[in-house]
C-alpha cells in the first residue's frame, strides 16, 4: 500500500491498484441544500453576493434570499414538489440563480437548458423531460413555447424580462406577501433518500442528449474542499447553470460568503481587466479560454497577482499553455490547477495540487472518490503506468440517465463503477494522466458536438452514401469536427454544401474541421467504423 506525502494538500492511498481518496467525512453536511443556502444568506445578509461587471449592479444575500423564496412560494402554489421538473433557459445573468434555488427549496428537480438550443434540439428535450415549469428569458421564450406546443407538452412559462403573453418573474414574485416570505420553510429530504435534485444534459456518442440525474445529497456534499475557494473573496467563472460547474460554483460562492462576478461572453482581454480591477482571488477557465488568453499575450500586460487559484477544466489543456501560466503566476503564490471532472461523477474526480509534478496531469484523486484503470478490450485491471480506461467510484455519482436504462448500463457497471470514456494512467505516486478520449463527443469552442447527429444529417443527403465524423485537434478550439464522406454514384455534392447542411441542426455543429471525400470508410472486424484509423487520417489532412 502506498500513501501520499503527509505534506500534500490532498491525501489518498493505493490498494490493489485502486486509488482511494481520503474519507473527509468531516466535510459532509446532513442538511438539505435549500436549508444550507438560506442559512448562509441569513448569516451574512449584507454580503454582496453578485456584481454585474458590465453594469455595476449588485445584489446582496438578503436580496437574493428574498427573490428566490418568492419564486419558491409561487412554485408551491402551482403544485410543484417532489419529482416535478422545473426547467430554466438563461445565459449567465443576475437572475439565473432564482430558478435553481427556488426549485431546491421546494424539493423539485432543477433542469437547466442551454439558452441557444436550436428548434430541433428543443423538440427533443421537450419530449424527453416534459417539464412542468419553464423559466426563460424574453429572448428565448417564443422558441421554447412553440417547440413545446409541437412536442405536445403542457408547461407553464415564466419570463425573465418583459412579456405581454406570459407572467414575468417580477410579477410572480410581487404576488407573494412579506408574511409568506418571512414564514417560508424549505423542504428537506432525509439523507440517504437518493431524491433527484437536478438533471443536467450530457451528450453521448449516439448524438442525443441524455439527462444526468444527481441527488440532493450530491448537491450539498459536492466534492470540493472550500480551502481551494477562499472565503470573502471575488470569484470569476463563465459557466452557465447548464454546466455542473456553473451550478456547483454558485452554491460554493454563497456558502463561502463570496461574491460572484457576473460576466457573460468570454473575451481574453476583458477577463484580465476584470481580474485586475476587482482583485479576483479565484477563477475557473476552460482550456479554450486559457489558450485564448495565452495567444493574446495577457501575462505580460495584466496584473493577475490577486489570484489565489486558477482552476482549469472541461477538456484536455495544452501543456505549453499550462506551463506558461504556471511560470507566470506561481511565483506570486497562485496555484494553477488542471482538473478532471464529469457530470456523471457529480463533479470533480481529480485535481492538481501544489505538489503535482507532471504539468499535463490532472493531479490527484479528490476526497471521497476512488479510481481504477481497466483494459478497454478485456476489462483487466491495470497497474501504474499502464494505459486504459479510467473508471471512478463515488457516492455522489449520477443515479441514472433520465429514462434511459440502456445508456446507464453502458456507463455504470453492476458494482457501481462509472466508466469515464477517457484513456489514461496513474503513476507509482498516484498522479493521474489522461492521454486521449475514448468517447466520441467532440469539444469545440466549449460546445459539446455529438458526431452521431452530424452523421445522421449528412446521411439524409441523397448524394451521401456513408459518413463518419471525428475530431481534429486545434490549438484554440480544442477540437474541430471533420467529416469523411463517401458519395453515391454520380453524386455532385460539394464539401461546402455538406458544411452548410451540418449547421442546420445547430450552428455549433458546423463542420469547421472540413469535409474529406473518400472511396470507402475503414471498418473493424465487428462492423464498426475504425475511428482510430479515421482520426489518424484526419490528422494528416489537417496538417
Q: List the grid coordinates of 40.
A: 448562509
Per residue of the chain (543 residues), what is the pLDDT tens digit?
A: 344 333 445 579 999 999 999 887 767 788 899 999 999 999 999 999 999 999 999 999 999 999 999 999 999 999 999 999 999 999 999 999 999 999 999 999 999 999 989 899 899 999 999 999 999 999 999 999 999 999 999 999 999 999 999 999 999 999 999 999 999 999 999 988 999 999 999 854 345 689 999 999 999 987 655 457 899 999 999 999 999 999 999 999 999 999 999 999 899 999 999 999 999 999 999 888 898 898 888 999 999 999 999 999 987 787 888 999 999 999 999 999 999 999 999 999 999 988 899 999 999 999 999 999 999 888 999 999 999 999 999 999 999 999 999 999 999 999 999 999 888 999 999 999 998 766 677 888 888 787 878 888 998 899 998 899 999 999 898 899 999 999 999 999 999 999 999 998 888 889 999 999 999 988 754 456 778 889 999 998 877
Q: List the grid coordinates of 309.
A: 487559484
CA torsion sign, 415 to 417 to 421 to 423?
negative
Angle between helices 61-77 and 97-105 (to 10 degrees): 60
Element (H, E) at 536: helix 531-542
**Alpha helix positions (H), 184-301:** 216-220, 244-255, 268-277, 287-295
Q: List the grid coordinates of 183.
A: 414564514
- Three-point CA angle 144, 148, 150, nearest 5°: 120
Domains annotated on the chain, with CATH = 12-26+221-437 (3.40.50.12780), 33-46+57-218 (3.40.50.12780), 442-542 (3.30.300.30)
The span from the CA of 284 to the CA of 236, in Å, is 7
Phi, psi of 432 (to 5 degrees): -105, 130
The per-residue pLDDT for 10 is: 53
The per-residue pLDDT for 460 is: 85
- Position of cell 480551502? 227
The span from the CA of 34 to the CA of 185, in Å, is 9
Those residues with Cβ within 8 angstroms of residue 526's Cβ, 6 or more apart along the chain or in another chain: none
* Contact assessment for residue 189 and residue 197, using Cβ atoms and an 8 Å cutoff: no
**3-state class of 499 per DSSP?**
helix
* Contact assessment for residue 125 and residue 85, using Cβ atoms and an 8 Å cutoff: no
Q: List the grid coordinates of 418.
A: 462509472
CA 497 from centroid of its chain's CA atoms: 32
The per-residue pLDDT for 524 is: 56
The 10 Å Cβ neighbour count of residue 519 is: 6
Element (H, E) at 71: helix 61-77
- pTM (predicted TM-score): 0.84
The per-residue pLDDT for 322 is: 93
The span from the CA of 118 to the CA of 107, in Å, is 30
* Contact assessment for residue 446 and residue 285, using Cβ atoms and an 8 Å cutoff: no
* Contact assessment for residue 367 and residue 345, using Cβ atoms and an 8 Å cutoff: no
The per-residue pLDDT for 26 is: 67
The span from the CA of 173 to the CA of 326, in Å, is 46
Amino acid at each position: 500500500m502506498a500513501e501520499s506525502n503527509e505534506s500534500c494538500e490532498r491525501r489518498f492511498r493505493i490498494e490493489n491498484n485502486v486509488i482511494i481518496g481520503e474519507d473527509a467525512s468531516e466535510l459532509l453536511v446532513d442538511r438539505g441544500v435549500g436549508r444550507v443556502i438560506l442559512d448562509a444568506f441569513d448569516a451574512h445578509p449584507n454580503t454582496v453576493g453578485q456584481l454585474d461587471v458590465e453594469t455595476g449592479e449588485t445584489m446582496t444575500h438578503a436580496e437574493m434570499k428574498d427573490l428566490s423564496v418568492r419564486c419558491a412560494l409561487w412554485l408551491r402554489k402551482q403544485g410543484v414538489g417532489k419529482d416535478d421538473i422545473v426547467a430554466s433557459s438563461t445565459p449567465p445573468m443576475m437572475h439565473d440563480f432564482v430558478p435553481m434555488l427556488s426549485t431546491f427549496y421546494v424539493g423539485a428537480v432543477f433542469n437547466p437548458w442551454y439558452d441557444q438550443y436550436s428548434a430541433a434540439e428543443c423538440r427533443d428535450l421537450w419530449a424527453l423531460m416534459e417539464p412542468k415549469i419553464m423559466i426563460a428569458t424574453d429572448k428565448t421564450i417564443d422558441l421554447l413555447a412553440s417547440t413545446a406546443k409541437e412536442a405536445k407538452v403542457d408547461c407553464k412559462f415564466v419570463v425573465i424580462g418583459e412579456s405581454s403573453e406570459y407572467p414575468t418573474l417580477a410579477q410572480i414574485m410581487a404576488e407573494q406577501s412579506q408574511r409568506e416570505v418571512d414564514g417560508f420553510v424549505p423542504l428537506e429530504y432525509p439523507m440517504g433518500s437518493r431524491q433527484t435534485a437536478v438533471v443536467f444534459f450530457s451528450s453521448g456518442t449516439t448524438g442525443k442528449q441524455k439527462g444526468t440525474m444527481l441527488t440532493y445529497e450530491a448537491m450539498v456534499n459536492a466534492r470540493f474542499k472550500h480551502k481551494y475557494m477562499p472565503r470573502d473573496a471575488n470569484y470569476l467563472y463563465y459557466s452557465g447553470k447548464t454546466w455542473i460547474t456553473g451550478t456547483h460554483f454558485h452554491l460554493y460562492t454563497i456558502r463561502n460568503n463570496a461574491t460572484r462576478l457576473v460576466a457573460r461572453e468570454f473575451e481574453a482581454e476583458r477577463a484580465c481587466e476584470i481580474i485586475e480591477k476587482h482583485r479576483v482571488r479565484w477563477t475557473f477557465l476552460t482550456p479554450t479560454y486559457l489558450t485564448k488568453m495565452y495567444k493574446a499575450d495577457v501575462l505580460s500586460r495584466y496584473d493577475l497577482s490577486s489570484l489565489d487559484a486558477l482552476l482549469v477544466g472541461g477538456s484536455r489543456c495544452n501543456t505549453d499553455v499550462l506551463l506558461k501560466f504556471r511560470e507566470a503566476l506561481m511565483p506570486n503564490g497562485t496555484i494553477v490547477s488542471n482538473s478532471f471532472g464529469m457530470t456523471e461523477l457529480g463533479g470533480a474526480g481529480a485535481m492538481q495540487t501544489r505538489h503535482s509534478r507532471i504539468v499535463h496531469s490532472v493531479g490527484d484523486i479528490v476526497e471521497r472518490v476512488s479510481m481504477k484503470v481497466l483494459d478497454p478490450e478485456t476489462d483487466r485491471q491495470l497497474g501504474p503506468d499502464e494505459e486504459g480506461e479510467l473508471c471512478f467510484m463515488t457516492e455522489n455519482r449520477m443515479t441514472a440517465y433520465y429514462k434511459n436504462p440502456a445508456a446507464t448500463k453502458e456507463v455504470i457497471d453492476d458494482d457501481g463503477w462509472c466508466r469515464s470514456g477517457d484513456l489514461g494512467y496513474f503513476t507509482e505516486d498516484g498522479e493521474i494522466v489522461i492521454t486521449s478520449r475514448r468517447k466520441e463527443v467532440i469539444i469545440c469552442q466549449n460546445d459539446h458536438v455529438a458526431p452521431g447527429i452530424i452523421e445522421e444529417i449528412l446521411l439524409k443527403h441523397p448524394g451521401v452514401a456513408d459518413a463518419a465524423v471525428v475530431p481534429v485537434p486545434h490549438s484554440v478550439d480544442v477540437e474541430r469536427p471533420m467529416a469523411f464522406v463517401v458519395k453515391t454514384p454520380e453524386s455532385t455534392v460539394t464539401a461546402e454544401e455538406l458544411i452548410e447542411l451540418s449547421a442546420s441542426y445547430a450552428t455549433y455543429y458546423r463542420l469547421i474541421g472540413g469535409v474529406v471525400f473518400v472511396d470507402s470508410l475503414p471498418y473493424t472486424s465487428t462492423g464498426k467504423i475504425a475511428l482510430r484509423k479515421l482520426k489518424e487520417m484526419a490528422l494528416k489532412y489537417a496538417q
